């Protein structure tokens, strides 16, 4: 699963899946949906940090969800996993913000009804998340940036390659894979992939390659050292697993259910 700070939590498609009219409403009312997605995430992040500050846990309390883990009172957004309840909260809160703006643009009661409906759904999803627990990772490994790709001389036939890379921490937990990058290689060439800007807690990396978006799979059997590039073997690509979805939570932390927003 992606981390809170890896990416925008919800997509335009997820907004449209909840409300088929929302993109048309936003277009007709001049509302920037991308800006609302970002604003909703900022507001949710602030509320999670505030809820963590109100938590009754002391800095030396051991976790009841992950034995031996030491909890701190503060909540670090970079350690929070985007679980389904968090994604729902973000979707509903974004829709709430969009219809709030639409109502104030037109003072249209139809928009008012949707604004209030999504406000209630946003509060419900927030309460669900805080009650069931916020997913936390102990050693967060960020999404990898796009790697450097080179096409040196080799023995491969001409092909277009699609590449992703992902960092691994010391527990061999894999972060979210980088955006897909493509390159076209001519005959008698090869493929070399070099990761960019590893984070301080990265212990290695994985490389995923395919000749189409749908065929991208893992190419290394063991983690690749940070200071080492990957070169396409003479035997060509292998069929490994597909890129993962990021780190799973190590534990879930319940937070106070009252929120700053009314």
The pair of structure tokens assigned to 149 is 């790709």
169 lies in some domain: yes
Give yes or no: residues 74 and 130 share one domain: yes
**Which strand (E) or helix (H) includes residue 177?**
none
Q: Given the structure tokens 């927030």, which residue do they identify?
A: 126
Predicted model pTM: 0.85
Tell me what pLDDT residue 257 has. 61
Q: Which of 197, 195, 219 lies closest to 207, judged by CA?
A: 219
Please say whether the beta carbons of 173 and 140 come within 8 A. Answer: no
Q: Is residue 253 a part of any domain in this protein? A: no
Contact 4, 78 (CB under 8 A): yes
Number of domains in the chain: 2
Tokens of 205: 């990396």
Instruction: Supply the pLDDT for residue 148.
Output: 97
105 shares its domain with 153: no
**Does some domain include residue 49?**
yes
Asked if residue 83 and residue 182 are part of one domain, the reply reads no
Do residues 130 and 208 share a domain?
no
> Does residue 108 fall inside a structural domain?
yes
One domain, residues 50 and 101: yes
Q: What is the structure's pLDDT at 69?
A: 47
Structural element, H or E, at residue 103: helix 84-106
Residue 207 domain-assigned (yes or no): yes
* Domain C-terminal end among 83, 114, 140: 140
85 within a domain of the structure (yes/no): yes
pLDDT attached to residue 61: 43
Residue 242 forms part of a structural domain: no
Q: What is the CATH number of the domain that holds 206?
A: 2.60.40
Which structural domain, as residue segments, surrounds residue 48? Answer: 12-140
Please report whether residue 172 resides in a domain: yes
Q: What is the pLDDT of residue 73?
A: 54
Q: Are residues 199 and 157 located together in one domain of the fold?
A: yes
**How far is the C-alpha of 137 from the C-alpha of 163, rounded, in Å?**
26
DSSP 3-state of 45: helix
For every one of its 262 residues, what pLDDT tens digit does the chain have, with 9 covering 90 and above?
899 999 999 999 999 999 999 999 999 999 999 999 999 999 999 999 988 877 655 344 444 444 444 455 578 999 999 999 999 999 999 999 999 999 998 888 889 999 999 999 999 999 999 889 999 999 999 999 999 999 999 999 999 999 999 999 999 999 999 999 999 999 999 999 999 999 999 999 999 999 999 999 999 999 999 999 999 999 999 999 999 999 999 999 988 765 444 4
Q: How many residues does the chain have?
A: 262
Question: Please, how many CA atoms are within 13 Å of residue 205, restricted to the half-sphere of its CB?
Answer: 29
**Cβ-based burial of 123 (10 A; exposed 0-12, middle 13-18, buried ≥19):** middle
- First vs last Cα of the chain: how many Å apart? 30
At which of 99, 118, 140 does a domain end?
140
């Amino acid at each position: 699963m992606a981390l809170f700070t890896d990416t925008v939590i919800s997509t335009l498609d997820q907004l449209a899946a909840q409300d088929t009219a929302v993109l048309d409403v936003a277009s007709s009312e001049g509302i920037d949906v991308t800006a609302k997605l970002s604003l909703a995430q900022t507001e949710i992040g602030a509320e999670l940090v505030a809820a963590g500050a109100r938590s009754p846990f002391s800095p030396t309390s051991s976790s009841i969800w992950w034995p031996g883990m030491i909890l701190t009172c503060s909540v670090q957004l970079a350690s929070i996993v985007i679980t389904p309840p968090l994604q729902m909260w973000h979707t509903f809160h974004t829709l709430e913000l969009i219809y709030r703006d639409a109502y104030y643009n037109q003072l249209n009661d139809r928009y008012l009804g949707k604004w209030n409906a999504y406000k209630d759904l946003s509060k419900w999803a927030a309460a669900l998340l805080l009650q069931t627990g916020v997913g936390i990772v102990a050693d967060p490994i960020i999404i990898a940036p796009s790697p450097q790709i080179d096409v040196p001389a080799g023995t491969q036939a001409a092909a277009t390659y699609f590449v992703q890379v992902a960092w691994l921490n010391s527990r061999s937990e894999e972060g979210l894979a980088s955006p897909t990058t493509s390159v076209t290689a001519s005959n008698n060439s090869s493929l070399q992939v070099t990761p960019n800007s590893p984070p301080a807690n990265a212990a290695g990396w994985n490389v995923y390659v395919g000749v189409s978006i749908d065929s991208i799979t893992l190419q290394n059997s063991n983690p690749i050292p940070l200071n080492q590039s990957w070169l396409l073997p003479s035997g060509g690509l292998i069929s490994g697993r597909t890129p993962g979805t990021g780190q799973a939570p190590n534990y879930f932390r319940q937070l106070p259910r009252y929120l700053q927003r009314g």
